[in-house]
């Protein structure tokens, strides 16, 4: 009414507020409040204070119990260095300085009195003139400061992952608007130990325990369905393992041939890409993962870039160095409780877990191999996808996924991988520019060099005009026994095979680099036609008796050979022609008389 220029008499008649009081309300409403906004209509609230109380009266006499309101804040205004010191103790304000983790009110009050004495405050002045020397006032002031800076104080005392929950008071929604909108990825160390059987040089077989394995999982966020997974045999998972897990999430799933007696797939279980036709080669919009230190240490940036380029999605990492509260962490807990921790070879949740009963001995006794646990994991995850979930109102993840696809209809279309990329779909690859070299006149075939090995083919070796040109080689890191090469125009040229023994057995980059490193160190000696991968496995079997890491490396090499298929055609490495030098005729023998002796 006042802003609408209503007469003050009319305002007085309707609200019983006089002209002077209305003007006072209007001026107060335009003042700035402590939250940075104007006071506004809050000024009409009875007993509302637009600013904190500031004492202006002189201190009371020594020994009086009452009449000291505002004395502490007045003291701190006169001595700002004391307030700064107290705030630094509470909020650890000086970087690099050592503070107590959570300073108590008793310690804070003791420091406060020392600073007052150092500031020259007399014994008959506040705070020494009151009964408890402002102990309660200081505690209340500390509580006020903490309430004003709650997020900062929580980050100091409880950690940044707890402080992130403090904001508006409402937790962030984990609702996903549509199926295949967001996928979570993470790795978990399996809570069990497994064995591998190796053959020693003397022909004996030995059953040895591997180091704990990892399982990498891609999970659909809205329904909780497990799209794909991968169990690497490395002691720490790598970038190629992450890409393989995402490949398995896209490529249609096929049940394994189970060899364990009594183990079978559930009728209503499976993976979405294998049991729901609409989910075969389905893609998603976002990939979420925690920004843990292991991801930054083991996974290079090109891996996430490859996922973005190959799947057409965006990366949404979590806070740096702190795992967030994602539902995939709950899934790992369920899988551990109802899966791995029920096995006799479980390591338990911690070293002191009662369920941990000599897991190494149990793994050897029952011969629980790494190959068998892959079957168990596949059945376990397939059963999880088909089991009713309370969070999904009694539906299983597969049922919820079917319902979500039917509910979306044509409004929200799920993107799929292009048909021309499905036949040879692979994320573990990169391009390398290689030069064609080789002295044909000296008996050398034309070839390219990659990672210390020569690659060639009959087509390349027979075309002498190709020497000196550059080819674009597509390197599939999971099997570098062969390389597909293209001309500069983009036309496919041929598939080159590694020369010598390198073309006998499938192997990936990590195996190639390990073999070359052992050769440089003189620990592995190979002849010209030896199979380096087989020799490498024999070397690891000798070391595996004492070193667990060698057991995992050997298991990984055998796995790569088993998945690599049959050997390609072998091209014998060119031999340098041996130059034959004519022998010189022996000098004629002369007698002491100088005549020739024939």
Asked if the structure places residue 66 within a domain, the reply is no
* Distance from the first to the final alpha carbon of the chain: 143
Structure tokens at 455: 């690659």
Last residue of a domain, one of 421, 447, 466: 421
Please report the pLDDT score of residue 594 as a whole number. 36
**CA dist., res. 65 & res. 463, Å (int):** 106
C-alpha pair distances (Å), 294 with each of 124, 289, 385, 428 = 61, 12, 28, 20
Examine the domain organization and report whether 411 and 469 are in the same domain. no
Asked if the structure places residue 580 within a domain, the reply is no
Asked if the structure places residue 275 within a domain, the reply is yes
Examine the domain organization and report whether 285 and 345 are in the same domain. yes
pTM tops 0.85: no
Last residue of a domain, one of 107, 134, 163: 163
Examine the domain organization and report whether 416 and 438 are in the same domain. no
Examine the domain organization and report whether 363 and 237 are in the same domain. yes
Asked if the structure places residue 62 within a domain, the reply is no
Examine the domain organization and report whether 360 and 264 are in the same domain. yes
Last residue of a domain, one of 421, 449, 483: 421
Examine the domain organization and report whether 408 and 515 are in the same domain. no
Asked if the structure places residue 65 within a domain, the reply is no
Asked if the structure places residue 533 within a domain, the reply is yes
Examine the domain organization and report whether 306 and 228 are in the same domain. yes
Asked if the structure places residue 589 within a domain, the reply is no
240, 477 contact by CB (below 8 A):
yes
Each residue's pLDDT, cut to its tens digit, for the chain (598 residues) gives 777 777 878 877 777 778 788 888 888 888 887 777 888 888 888 877 767 777 877 766 555 667 778 889 889 999 999 999 999 999 988 877 878 878 899 999 999 999 999 999 988 888 888 888 889 999 999 999 998 888 888 888 877 766 666 654 444 445 567 899 999 999 999 999 999 888 877 778 889 999 999 999 999 998 999 999 999 998 888 889 999 999 999 999 999 999 999 899 999 999 999 999 999 999 999 998 876 655 555 577 788 888 999 999 988 876 655 555 567 888 888 888 888 888 898 988 887 777 888 888 999 998 989 999 999 999 999 999 999 988 888 999 999 999 988 876 655 678 999 998 998 899 998 899 999 998 877 778 899 999 999 999 999 988 888 899 999 999 999 999 999 999 988 899 999 999 989 999 999 999 999 999 999 999 998 887 789 999 999 999 989 988 989 999 999 999 999 987 654 444 443 333 333 344 444 444 343 333 333 3
CB under 8 A, 24+ apart: contacts of 135-143 = 135/105, 135/109, 137/68, 137/71, 137/72, 138/72, 138/86, 138/105, 138/108, 138/109, 138/112, 139/105, 139/109, 141/72, 141/73, 142/86, 142/90, 142/105, 142/108
CA angle 75, 78, 84 (to 5 degrees): 85
Examine the domain organization and report whether 527 and 444 are in the same domain. yes
Backbone dihedral angles phi then psi of residue 520, each to the nearest 5 degrees: -65, -35
Please report the pLDDT score of residue 577 as a whole number. 35
Examine the domain organization and report whether 252 and 337 are in the same domain. yes
Q: Which domain holds residue 133?
A: 71-163
Q: Which residues contact 189 (CB under 8 A, 6 or more apart)?
A: 212, 213, 214
Structure tokens at 218: 């891609």
Asked if the structure places residue 61 within a domain, the reply is no
Examine the domain organization and report whether 204 and 156 are in the same domain. no
Tell which residue, 121, 107, 47, has the closest CA to residue 79.
121
The number of domains in the chain is 4
Please report the pLDDT score of residue 518 as a whole number. 94
Please report the pLDDT score of residue 298 as a whole number. 58
Structure tokens at 246: 């995402």
Examine the domain organization and report whether 37 and 156 are in the same domain. no
Examine the domain organization and report whether 249 and 333 are in the same domain. yes
CA atoms within a 13 Å half-sphere pointing along the CA-CB vector of 525: 1
């Amino acid at each position: 009414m006042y802003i609408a220029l209503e007469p003050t008499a009319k305002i007085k008649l309707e609200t019983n507020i006089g002209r002077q009081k209305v003007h006072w309300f209007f001026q107060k409403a335009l003042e700035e409040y402590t939250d940075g906004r104007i006071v506004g209509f809050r000024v009409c609230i009875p007993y509302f204070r637009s600013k904190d109380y500031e004492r202006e009266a002189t201190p009371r006499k020594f020994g009086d119990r009452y009449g000291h309101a505002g004395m502490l804040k007045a003291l701190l205004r006169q001595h700002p260095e004391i307030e700064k010191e107290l705030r630094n103790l509470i909020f650890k304000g000086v970087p690099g300085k050592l503070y107590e983790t959570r300073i108590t009110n008793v310690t804070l009050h003791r420091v406060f009195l020392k600073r007052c004495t150092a500031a020259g405050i007399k014994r008959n002045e506040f705070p020494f003139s009151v009964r408890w020397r402002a102990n309660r006032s200081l505690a209340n002031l500390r509580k006020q400061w903490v309430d004003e800076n709650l997020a900062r104080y929580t980050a100091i005392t409880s950690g940044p992952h707890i402080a992130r929950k403090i904001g508006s008071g409402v937790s962030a929604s984990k609702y996903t608007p549509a199926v295949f909108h967001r996928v979570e990825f993470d790795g978990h160390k399996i809570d069990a130990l497994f064995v591998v059987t190796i053959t020693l040089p003397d022909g004996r077989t030995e059953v040895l325990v591997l180091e704990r394995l990892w399982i990498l999982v891609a999970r659909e966020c809205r329904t909780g369905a497990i799209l794909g997974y991968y169990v690497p045999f490395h002691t720490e998972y790598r970038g190629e393992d992450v890409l393989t897990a995402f490949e398995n999430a896209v490529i249609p799933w096929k049940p394994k041939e189970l060899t364990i007696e009594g183990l079978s797939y559930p009728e209503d279980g499976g993976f979405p890409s294998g049991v729901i036709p609409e989910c075969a080669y389905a893609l998603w919009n976002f990939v979420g993962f925690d920004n843990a230190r292991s991801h930054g240490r083991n996974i290079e940036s090109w891996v996430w870039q490859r996922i973005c380029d190959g799947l057409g999605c965006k990366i949404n990492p979590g806070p740096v160095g702190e795992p967030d509260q994602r539902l995939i962490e709950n899934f790992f807990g369920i899988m551990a409780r109802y899966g791995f921790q029920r096995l006799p070879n479980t390591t338990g949740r911690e070293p002191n877990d009662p369920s941990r009963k000599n897991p190494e001995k149990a793994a050897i006794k029952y011969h629980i191999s790494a190959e068998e646990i892959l079957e168990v994991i596949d059945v376990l995850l397939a059963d999880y996808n088909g089991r009713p979930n309370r969070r999904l109102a009694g539906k299983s993840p597969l049922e919820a996924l079917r319902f979500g696809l039917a509910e979306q209809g044509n409004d929200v279309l799920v993107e799929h991988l292009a048909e021309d990329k499905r036949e040879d779909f692979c994320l573990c690859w990169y391009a390398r520019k290689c030069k064609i070299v080789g002295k044909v006149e000296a008996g050398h075939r034309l070839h390219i060099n990659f990672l210390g090995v020569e690659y060639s083919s009959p087509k390349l070796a027979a075309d002498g005009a190709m020497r000196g040109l550059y080819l674009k080689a597509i390197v599939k890191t999971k099997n570098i026994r062969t390389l597909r090469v293209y001309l500069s125009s983009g036309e496919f040229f041929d598939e080159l095979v590694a020369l010598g023994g390198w073309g006998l057995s499938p192997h990936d980059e990590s195996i190639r680099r390990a073999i070359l490193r052992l050769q440089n160190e003189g620990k592995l000696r190979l002849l010209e036609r030896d199979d380096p991968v087989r020799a490498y496995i024999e070397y690891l079997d000798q070391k595996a008796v004492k070193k667990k890491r060698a057991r995992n490396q050997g298991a990984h090499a055998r796995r790569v050979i088993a998945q690599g298929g049959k050997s390609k055609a072998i091209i014998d490495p060119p031999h340098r022609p041996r130059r034959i030098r004519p022998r010189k005729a022996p000098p004629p023998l002369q007698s002491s008389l100088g005549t020739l002796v024939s």
